[in-house]
Amino acid sequence: MVKLTLKPDERIDQLYSQDIQIIQSPEVFAFSLDAVLLADFAKLPLRASSQTVDLCAGNGAVGLFMSHKTRGQIAEVEIQPRLADMARRSVALNQLAGQMTVYEGDLAQVNQWIPKDSADVVTCNPPYFEDLPDSQKNPNRYLAIARHEILTNLATIVETTSGLLKMNGKAYFVHRPDRLFQLLQLMADNRLAPKRIRLVYPKPNREANMVLVEAIKDGKPGGVRFPAPLTVYDAQGHYTPEVEALLYGRQ
């Protein structure tokens, strides 16, 4: 049993569908459904020799939620020291230190830890909003950095992702639909061919508010598939069966 010391604002939450525990703090960072959806959407090689990298890792949610999919290594990269510390302690809490490593620093400098052209999979749940002069930002610095492109941006993320991936390696992103065209253009500029795009709707008769994208490095153009869209809540405000299963397991 791993014994951990929690900071005063921290708690331990659980993703019941996978029996994963994670250290959270509403004052600093707590994962959202997008992390669960990205981890489910990503396809990881099972083999022990594989390397997966999760950029903008936050408190480690995506990497932790993908850990059951592979026997290979998972690296998490997070620039905020407090969040990286939370991720390390969550890795220890789940006894995954032999599989997962947390690197604290700027993802643009990732090659000091992970060589170019070495990753089989790269995932990223990035800041969704551009850092514009008139952008309204959360006064909480931790939350502002997580939501706005203050310390990185989409162009740097896509370029870094491509640099990390082997030829035919796969990239997985979750983002806002209103930035999908920008994401696709950046992928085209960085040798990433989109292969699967899935829209996520908050409830029936509402516009999509998330998009999941899979790409292959140096993949052949064309052949993009659009799986059935995912709806989070039904008309009565309850989780749909697919989302319920992702959060709590099959009943």
Residue 169 belongs to domain with CATH number: 3.40.50.150
Contacts of 68 (CB under 8 A, 6+ apart): 18
Q: Residue 138 — pLDDT band, cuts 50, 70, 90? A: confident
Average pLDDT, integer, range 125-151: 80
* Tokens (6 digits) for 168: 């035919």
* Residue 165 φ then ψ, to 5°: -75, 145
* Domain contains 129: yes
Q: Residue 139 — pLDDT band, cuts 50, 70, 90? A: confident
Average pLDDT, integer, range 211-224: 96
Does residue 56 surpass a pLDDT of 70? yes
Angle (nearest 5°) at CA 182 between 37 and 146: 50
Question: What is the model's pLDDT at position 1?
Answer: 55
Q: In DSSP terms, which residues pair with 26 in a beta bridge? A: none
Give the residue numbers spanning the domain of 75.
14-248
Q: Residue 57 — pLDDT band, cuts 50, 70, 90? A: very high
Does residue 143 surpass a pLDDT of 90? no
Q: Residue 251 — pLDDT band, cuts 50, 70, 90? A: low
Report whether 168 contacts 192 (CB < 8 A). Answer: no
- What proportion of the chain, given as a percentage, has pLDDT over 90? 85
* Domain contains 1: no
Does residue 140 surpass a pLDDT of 90? no
Question: What is the model's pLDDT at position 115?
Answer: 98
* Domain contains 41: yes
Average pLDDT, integer, range 14-26: 94
**Using one digit for the tens of pLDDT, what is the confidence trace for 145-204?**
888 788 899 999 999 999 999 999 999 999 999 999 999 999 999 999 999 999 999 999
Question: HEC profile for the chain?
Answer: CCCCCCCCCCEEEEECCCCEEEEEECCCECCCHHHHHHHHHCCCCCCCCCEEEEECCCCCHHHHHHHHHCCCEEEEEECCHHHHHHHHHHHHHCCCCCCEEEEECCHHHHHHCCCCCCEEEEEECCCCECCCCCCCCCCCHHHHHHHECCCCCHHHHHHHHHHHEEEEEEEEEEECHHHHHHHHHHHHHCCEEEEEEEEEECCCCCCCCEEEEEEEECCCCCCCECCCCEECECCCCCECHHHHHHHHCCC
Average pLDDT, the chain: 94
- What proportion of the chain, given as a percentage, has pLDDT over 70? 98
The CA–CA distances, whole Å, from 83 to 10, 22, 44, 105, 121 equal 11, 12, 24, 11, 22
What is the sign of the dihedral through the CA atoms of 88, 55, 103 and 75? Answer: positive
Q: Tell me how far apart the alpha carbons of residues 129 and 24 are, in angstroms, rounded to a whole number.
A: 22
**Residue linked to tokens 């900071």:** 7
* Residue 61 φ then ψ, to 5°: -60, -50
The CA–CA distances, whole Å, from 147 to 34, 46, 55, 113, 212 equal 13, 32, 14, 25, 17
* Domain contains 2: no
* Domain contains 7: no
* Domain contains 204: yes
* Domain contains 6: no
Question: What is the model's pLDDT at position 2?
Answer: 64
* Domain contains 8: no
Number of structural domains, the chain? 1
Does residue 137 surpass a pLDDT of 80? no
**Using one digit for the tens of pLDDT, what is the confidence trace for 73-128?**
999 999 999 999 999 999 999 999 999 999 999 999 999 999 999 999 999 999 88
